[in-house]
Structure 1
Amino acid sequence: MKQVFRIISLSFVLIFSVSATASDKIAVVNISDIFQQLPELVVVTHKLEKEFKDRTIALQNMEHDLQTKIQNMQRNRSTMKASDQLQMEKDIIKKREEFNTTVRVFDQDTRRRQIEERDKIIYKIQNAVQKVSTLKGYDLVLDRGAVAYVSSVRDITADVLKQVK
């Protein structure tokens, strides 16, 4: 009976000592903070704005033309022939469909480019996390958003931010 008790006690001691050692090799990093603090984010935002500027202006012009046609039709409806009115309505419907299609394609293109640029930045952050965790000897690094609590001693966000910049 004493041997069973000793074996169980020894097992608990080993389990707790292993878990205590393992906890020394776990850290957290706040990826979203790093992402928001990168000066590269502003550069990418301006780059995308510049890339899509011409298309944005074209969409604004299309929208303005469509609104002008609608206003003209509403203003002149009472003095127009029925055939002219019907033709104008068809033209407005056609222009609205073209506009909606163009907007949809524009949204898809901008979303795709934003995702591409975001992925480049995240890849850079992940490489920095790997370097810092290797240098500091961490086996596991978790995103701060996925952890309920961790002491600030185990937070390597500042080190990763230095590495990324």
Structure 2
Amino acid sequence: MLKKFIKSMVMTTAASGLLLASTAMAADQKIAVVNFQEVMGKIPQTATVMQSLEAEFKDDRAVIAQLEKDIKYYQEKKKRDGSLMSEKEKEELDTKIGTLFQEYQAKGKEFQQKTGARQNEETNKIIALVRQAIDNIAAKEKYDFVLEQKAVVFAKPEHSITEEVVEQVSKLK
């Protein structure tokens, strides 16, 4: 029994010592936080990329919009004129609507894949610029850690380097 008590005391003392040591080591660390989402929203590169992607896929978007209009037109025509049409005309119209809808779905899926891939590609380039700016600031200011603000429960505003990152990335191309 005495042996268990001594063992638990030794373990408690060791744990307390480790806790104190880790607290002391943490006190020597220089830590900053950055709001990555805010940075991405404020830098001009994000808006530039969005505009260029919009222009790049303008024609594809127009084709999909036209297919959608055509489908709606033929559906409305069937509703409006269906009672006056023969069964063969109705079947032909249904076939036409079905074909347009399949083309619409295929082009829509292709469009989403292409735009998603391009958006990821461009976003990764911007993220590389942001990381470069964070690395530069961390090296210059001698930060041991730079954490994403979302990962931190609380940080004093003076520990945020978000505006510095925005400023530095805005100067880059």
| Short-chain TM bin | 0.7 to 0.9
Query: Aligned residues, how many?
Result: 158
- 1:102 aligns with 107
RMSD: 2.2
Tell me the equivalent position of 1:163. Answer: 168
The percent identity for this pair of structures is: 29
How far apart in 1 are the matches of 2:124 and 2:36?
Answer: 13
Q: Which amino acid aligns with 2:58?
A: K
Matching of residue 92 in structure 1 with residue 97 in structure 2:
yes
Shift of 1:11: 7.2
Runs of 4+ with >6 A deviation? 7-13
Map of 1:80 onto structure 2: 85
SS in structure 2 of the partner of residue 149 of structure 1: coil
In 2, the alpha carbon distance for the partners of 1:151 and 1:46 equals 35
Q: Say if 1:13 and 1:43 are closer, same or farther in 2 by CA, change over 3 A.
A: closer
Give, in angstroms, the shift of residue 126 of structure 1. 0.6
Q: Give 2:119's match in structure 1, choosing from 104, 114, 125.
A: 114
Q: 1:21 to 1:63 in 2, by over 3 A?
A: same
Write the mapping of 1:6-155 to structure 2, written as runs, cut at 5 A. 14-22=21-29, 25-155=30-160
Deviates more, 1:124-133 or 1:57-66: 57-66
Map Cα deviations across residues 111-140 of structure 1 (whole Å, 9 max, x no partner): 211111111111110111011001111111
Residue 97 (structure 1) shift: 1.1
TM-score, normalization: structure 1? 0.86
Distance 2:113 2:70 in 1: 23
CA distance in 2, matches of 1:81, 1:19: 82
Change (3 A) 1:147 1:83: same
Distance 1:95 1:110 in 2: 22
Return 153-162 or 55-64, whichever deviates more.
Answer: 153-162
Gaps of 5+ in 1: none
Cα separation, 2, equivalents of 1:80 and 1:38 = 58
1:68-113 Cα deviation digits (max 9, x unpaired): 1112222221121112211221221111111111111111211211
